[in-house]
Chains A and B, each alone.
Chain A
Amino acid sequence: MSISQDLLKARSYLTVILGFMLAFGIVFYVEKNNKSTDMKIPQLQLSENFPNLPAPRELNYQEAIWARIAWQYFINNTQVSGLVNSAEGHPYTSLWDNASYLLAIISAHQLGIIDDREFDARMQKALNALSILPLYQGNVPYLYYSTADLKPLTTTYDVDYSLVDVGRLLMAFKVIVWRYPQYNALVQQTLSHWDLGALFNMEKDNSSLKSRHNQSYFRPNNYRSGYGYSLYAANGLSLINTWAGIVLTNSKQQHDFAKVNGLSIPVDGSLMLQEKSYPVINSLPYVLSGLENGFNTETAEISWSIIQVQESLNQNSYRHSYVNMGFSNPIPRLSSKKTKSDFLSPSTDDDQPQKRVKLSLSTQAAFGWYALFNTPWTEQVRQKASDLFIPGKGWLDGVEAYSQQPSGLITATTNAVILESLVYTAQGKMICIACQKTKLATAAQSLGSQ
């Protein structure tokens, strides 16, 4: 038989073999050329070394005392109006700080520091005060108010109102509605005075999603901005309407991420210490995301990266002066212009808000990170922060990076975060859906709560 005749006889087999080879060739070609795209945001995947998260446990004695030291701030700084000063000695407040106050009241009640009666008195007064605040263009509260007479204050920030603050307040309302449903009516009533939906225009133009007031949403401002805040605020603001939820999770925003020691972390500033540059991270929004709403993969991954970066930088830094960076809580410089009307005047160039003080040890971050990730490093940091309080006044913001002196500020947010972190340790995250049984009966509280 000749070769060609053999081939003819075997043509079906050959066809099959050729077909397989063709198919495999196509497959290899497609596989090789179709590179799997890197996830644009690597933190949407939980890393290999992500630790086990701590389970709730009883507080120990020291923690019980620390909680009471934090609560003392609110005892001292609650004003007649029902709202709380942003910081000791600073007679003004913002929505953010009042949200901190509401969460502090809830935390103190859950930890047995205040009883039902005091809880009710404070909560009602605060919610009522919020509901009578004068509003910006009738929709949303201003940035800062005087705590004495609830009049809005002109500040040197370049925003008139803050959606981030509204987001925190809505988060606080979320907690109230789940855990203290008897306050639903009062919360609804407070919100009914505002028109938050009007802030989100159901329109999309070709460059960016805009809010009604032509303020490009979450553009960087000098009040509270950054990726962390946008992640955190989304939890609360998405309650408003569908468009708000979409706008907030649209990732066309600019983020400032840097790679430090191989880990990608959000950076809010930098600091020179002993001629080395260190990244400064505002941990606060990530801490709050974990303590209140609970982590998702993204916030968990970012948080874990932050902690790892801090630990490695601390071990390498000379004399461990870098411990866990953060910022002092913002204190506004009130504009020298005083206006009588409800409209805020635009700030002038020479009025700058007070620069945010960089901290080498942030008390609220120390407590928050320990509660969320109970590791030896976070425990060590919290221990370092454990004497940063003034007896009778509450917790300081931390240790200032440049001067290495304790910060002079005692703020509502720091003390609230400490209380929240201790509730987290004892019970888990603040939004908890089936936990009414934990605290409706009268708390067995310490008699010394005078």
Chain B
Amino acid sequence: MRLLPFNLPPYLRIFGHFVVSVLAVAALLLGGTFSAQAEKLPAQGYPVRHGELTEREKAVANRAWEFFVTNYQPATGLVNAVNNYPSTTMWDTASYIAALIAARELAIIDKPEFDKRMIKLLGTLNTIPLFRNQMPNKAYNTITAQKVNYVNKPGEIGFSALDGGRMLVWLRAIKERYPEYANSVDNIVLRWDFTNVIDGCGTMYGAILDGNNQPMYVQEGRLGYEEYAARGFQLWGFNTCQASRPEPYQFADIYCVMVPYDSRDPREHHQHNYVLTEPFILQGMEFGWGADKTNAQEKAAITPEWIRDFADRVYQAQENRYLITGMLTARSEHQLDRAPYFVYDTVFSDGYDWNTITDKGEFVPETSAVSMKAALGMWTLWNSPYTDRLFDTIENATEKGKGYYEGLYENGSGPIHEFTANNNGIMLEALLFKKEGNLLKLRAQNSQASDFVPSIWNQKLLNVFEENNKRLNRPFISADKGTRSWCQRTGVALREAPACSACQCAQCNGDQPVKLPPALSSCTKP
């Protein structure tokens, strides 16, 4: 067979085949090096920060904890959400739990102090009156632990699935880190009625009151927050297929990065499709991603790749804004120290980029700020010169005894003179993440050990004869081998999911991979 189009001299002919194969390999290698490498965002190359805290970082942690000392309510064990204002939500209380755990792990407080606080808190959560006996109310008075409305007067507002989701994440975190509290935690969640908060397809709903004081259940959550809260429900056994999928989403081209946003029309649904840093950094810190992904077996504890990809884009658009315009950017929703008191300070929302809006949709760009929690979250998850600069900027924006300011106004007029549990709590999370990696560390349990006892939550949910399972819409959980044998030994009839789970929800395929378009935008195609 003629391999080469010319005749080799005789002494080379034996090498003919060899020569051809060498040429072929060389051609392949050459082709390989010239083939277009998919260009990546710089953010995708920045590693997470990891290591013991430096003196400066310890100082940040200590100062942030001061908020929880000043705003602690000994009567209930709750902490004010906003400095000196005795009201809180489940979201902020979860941030307090995060702060409490961080304070213990970073040796800011000792075990007795931790135990005292935890016992009081869990006791309150176990007895706190729920909204219509379903889920916790949106707001509580921190001194009396009674349901209140937004002006802190006794009343009801409804419940929030997002708040509940975050609380579920951190209740699970307590169970895993401090199993001595597992029973208290389980009993909290066993009180909750999930009938209206999550449906068979895994969509989450919040409750609001209509004109006649009757509850209305409305889908709650947009890209970012929706998936984060769904993880909480998933950690307690719920199927959260719809909520956990990123769809529906679209991309906005912002400073050469394709930034994802929820494409549900804000005009129809009366919910802003804001793009904020917070839900992405929470997932990164609490569950870990990339090389820091937890290697736990439980699917709920593993961050899907697309969340990391979306987070990189949200980070990169902000870094680019700094490189191009010189404006330090770390955007998240935050309180203000004056009217309108609370803004969604977004990367993108309702069709406009860098949109800063109130809950009602009023445009208030003069209130945009560098949010401390966003900045420190970015700092811990993306190690870059830009985040070093953010750290330098926010490091000392504090007041002794109160913790960290909510933010620094972008227009240069100084700090937002307000202090919140959420802000200081997330900052403590970021520091604990640097030291330990992902915060939700699942405890390894050998269910086949002779002294193994499933948690109370599992025991009840696996028990066919537990009447409250159906009434409160508790999920079906699967039992592994060790649990099954325990049930057999103790005479518990297993409650298993109906064979046809697809009947409940035909339209959601949780395992379908998420295909993502390139993160780089049309900037490169003039």
Contact = CB atoms under 8 A, between A and B. Distances in A.
Interface string B122-141: 00000000000000000000
A391 B326 contact: yes
A68 B324 contact: yes
A393 interface: yes
The 9 closest A-B pairs by CB, nearest first: A392-B326, A448-B255, A64-B523, A391-B326, A448-B254, A68-B324, A111-B526, A59-B524, A112-B526
6 contacts: A64-B523, A65-B255, A112-B522, A112-B523, A444-B525, A446-B256
Nearest to B317: A448
Given A61-B41, A446-B254, A448-B353, A393 B523 contact: no
Contacts, number: 85
Given A60-B39, A391-B325, A392-B326, A65 B256 contact: yes
Interface in B229-287: 252-256
B350 to A, nearest CB: 13
B523 A390 contact: no
A426 interface: yes
A446 B326 contact: no
B146 interface: no
Nearest to B352: A447
Nearest to A393: B326
A72 to B, nearest CB: 6
Contact of A391 (B253, B324, B521): B324
B322 interface: yes
Nearest to B348: A447
Given A448-B317, A450-B354, A68 B256 contact: yes
Interface string A413-450: 00000000001001100000000001100011011101
Interface string B200-217: 000000000000000000
A393 B326 CA distance: 7
A298 interface: no
B321 interface: yes
Nearest to A448: B255
Nearest to B326: A392
Nearest to A110: B526
Contacts of B320: 65, 68, 448
Contacts of A438: 526
A68 B521 CA distance: 14
B297 to A, nearest CB: 38
B24 to A, nearest CB: 26
Given A447-B253, A448-B254, A448-B255, A64 B324 contact: no
A158 interface: no
Contact of A61 (B252, B253, B353, B524): B524
Nearest to A71: B324
A427 B526 contact: yes
A58 interface: yes
A63 B526 CA distance: 12
A385 B255 CA distance: 22
Given A68-B255, A448-B320, A392 B327 contact: yes
Interface string B350-390: 00011000000000000000000000000000000000000
Nearest to B353: A447
Nearest to B523: A64
B524 A58 contact: yes
Contacts of A112: 522-523, 525-526
Interface string A42-83: 000000000000000011110111001100100000000000
Interface in A288-334: none
A15 B95 CA distance: 118
Nearest to B252: A447
B28 interface: no
A69 B526 contact: no
A58 B322 CA distance: 24
B524 A64 contact: yes
A276 B523 CA distance: 44
B88 to A, nearest CB: 37
Contacts of B325: 72, 391-392
B29 interface: no
B323 interface: yes
Interface string B482-526: 000000000000000000000000000000000000001111111
B523 A446 contact: yes
A111 B323 CA distance: 18
Interface string A347-391: 000000000000000000000000000000000000000000111
B524 A60 contact: yes
Contact of A444 (B255, B256, B324, B522): B522
Contacts of A61: 39, 41, 256, 520, 523-524
B351 to A, nearest CB: 10
Contacts of B521: 446
A179 to B, nearest CB: 13
Nearest to A109: B526
Nearest to A70: B324
A423 B317 CA distance: 23
A409 B325 CA distance: 18
Contact of A65 (B323, B522, B525): B323
A389 B320 CA distance: 13
Contacts of B323: 65, 69, 389, 391
B346 to A, nearest CB: 13
Nearest to A68: B324
Contact of A64 (B256, B322, B326): B256
Contact of A446 (B39, B255, B327, B354): B255
A61 B252 CA distance: 16
B27 to A, nearest CB: 21
A72 B253 contact: no
Given A68-B256, A392-B327, A448 B321 contact: yes
A430 to B, nearest CB: 13
A438 B327 CA distance: 32
A401 B507 CA distance: 67
A106 to B, nearest CB: 12
A439 B321 CA distance: 26
Identify which of A63, A112, A446 gathers the most chain B CB atoms within 10 Å of its CB: A446
Nearest to B254: A448
Contacts of A391: 322-326
A63 B524 contact: yes
Contacts of A389: 323
B243 to A, nearest CB: 28
